[in-house]
Amino acid sequence: MRKVHWFGKTVSERDEYARKEEFVRVFECERIGLQRLALLVTANSEAVKRCLIRAFRECVASSSVAKESASLWAPEVSLSSARTYDAENDKRLRNCARTVKARRQAFLLAPFLVLAGCGRSPNASTPSIAITRIPSADGNKYDTVAAIEGTAVGVRPDQQIVVYSRSEELWWVQPVPDRPFTQIQNGSRWQNQVHLGTEYAALLVEPGYHPPETAESLPSKGDGVDAIAVVQDKRAPASSTQPKLLHFSGYDWTVRTAASNRAGTRNSFDPANAWTDERGALHLRIARRKDKWTCAEVKLTRSLGYGTYTFVVRDTSQLEPSAVLTMLTWDGIGGEPNRRELDVEISRWGYLENENAHYVVQPYFIPANMIRFRVPGGVLIHSFQWKPGRVTFTTVAGSPARVIQQHAFTSGVPAAGGDAVRMNLYVFNKGEVPLKNEMEVVIEKFEFFP
């Protein structure tokens, strides 16, 4: 078998190709994987540069040929060697890598080695945040504000913090919805004011991120959220409330216990205000508890998505102007800016002369997203058919049935995903005529057809 000379060593022909492949892999890792990739990082990305060098060293450490031929090149790789090569070694490398296949394989291998090295690095420049100070517990009074502080490491100047406080089983953006962002000071510290809660969360977010005002669950990492820190106030009184479940129209529903903003006003919810009767009808009530109105809401335990939603509602003509009955879809996590909200709402919003019903595709302040109308007394059937890019609302009364209103929206219709049906009865506190009496409505049936 023919012998060849291999950098001062004599080897068999059958080993020639394998050793060339190994040499090409090692040297091409450095020349291509480091030299070219290192030039792509900015001058201040030292962590990335160290990651590139470490990846190459690991490549060398695993190479038997590299160990055997360590005398051919420097055993310690510096950053300058990742950028430049002396002419002699480069010429020798080119002579070794004579096949296109070998060069191609080495080029493809280099980025993977770099990524692998970065993935194992504990010093990679991954941003992180921490909460270092939270307010002292004070009976969890919502209207009390106090300081919260924290740190941010490895962040960019354009990133910001969004702070949440958890109160009555709901996350509220802090300090107020129209000022949801907290600036990072001196590139490492942040502080702001928060309303008291049982838990506090800080999110490191990208420019252009739109935080939900309230959320049943915190936003997940990704989609503009780069890091999350959560701290529980162990001094706050623990809640032992278990969710109340109702079975209505063949579906399971969770009864709301947490307070919430509804139409810009804060409402408290009492699970005792929602129940089903012996005939299976759902009752929702506004009741007075200790000189305060408490409201009712039920939420379907699963998402239904596109399809036709139908609600059969008994007479609502007795509702006072500031009482609001809503049948809607809602994304409790806040994965979509307007919460995938589609509404049928029965209310005069605190004014005697207002029409008492409307359809809405949120946001409501866009004129084309709302249709107002009047509904008569008696049993009404409200429905909406939700399709991609289109939702058609219909209200029917009487027997034989007559259409009271129908309207199709084709602009701004949200895509289905993460939404769940809700029905609630609450108080609108910004109208001209305040609520005077307890209210109750009855939903006889809910139906869904895909």
Q: Which two tokens stand for residue 164?
A: 């949440």
Helix or strand holding residue 116 (H, E):
helix 100-119
- Condensed to tens digits (0 to 9), the pLDDT of residues 415-444 reads 998 899 999 999 999 999 999 999 999 999
Above 70 in pLDDT, residue 406?
A: yes
Nearest of 304, 293, 313, 335 to residue 423 by alpha carbon: 313
Above 90 in pLDDT, residue 97?
A: no
What are the beta bridge partners of residue 229? 202
55 pLDDT band (50/70/90 cuts)?
low
Residues near 164 by Cβ (< 8 Å), separated by ≥ 6?
Answer: 171, 172, 173, 174, 200, 201, 202, 203, 215, 218
pLDDT for position 14: 41
pLDDT for position 265: 77
This prediction has a pTM of 0.61
The residue to which tokens 């939702």 are assigned: 391
448 pLDDT band (50/70/90 cuts)?
very high
398 pLDDT band (50/70/90 cuts)?
confident
Above 90 in pLDDT, residue 123?
A: no
Structural Rg of the chain based on CA atoms? 32
pLDDT for position 439: 97
pLDDT for position 33: 45
Question: What would the mean pLDDT of 98-113 be, rounded to a whole number?
Answer: 45
Average pLDDT, the chain: 78
- Structural domains in the chain, sorted by start: 3-119 (no CATH), 128-232 (2.60.40), 244-449 (2.60.120.200)
10 Å CB burial of residue 211 (0-12, 13-18, 19+) is: buried
Q: How far apart are CA 422 and CA 344, in angstroms?
A: 11
Above 60 in pLDDT, residue 407?
A: yes
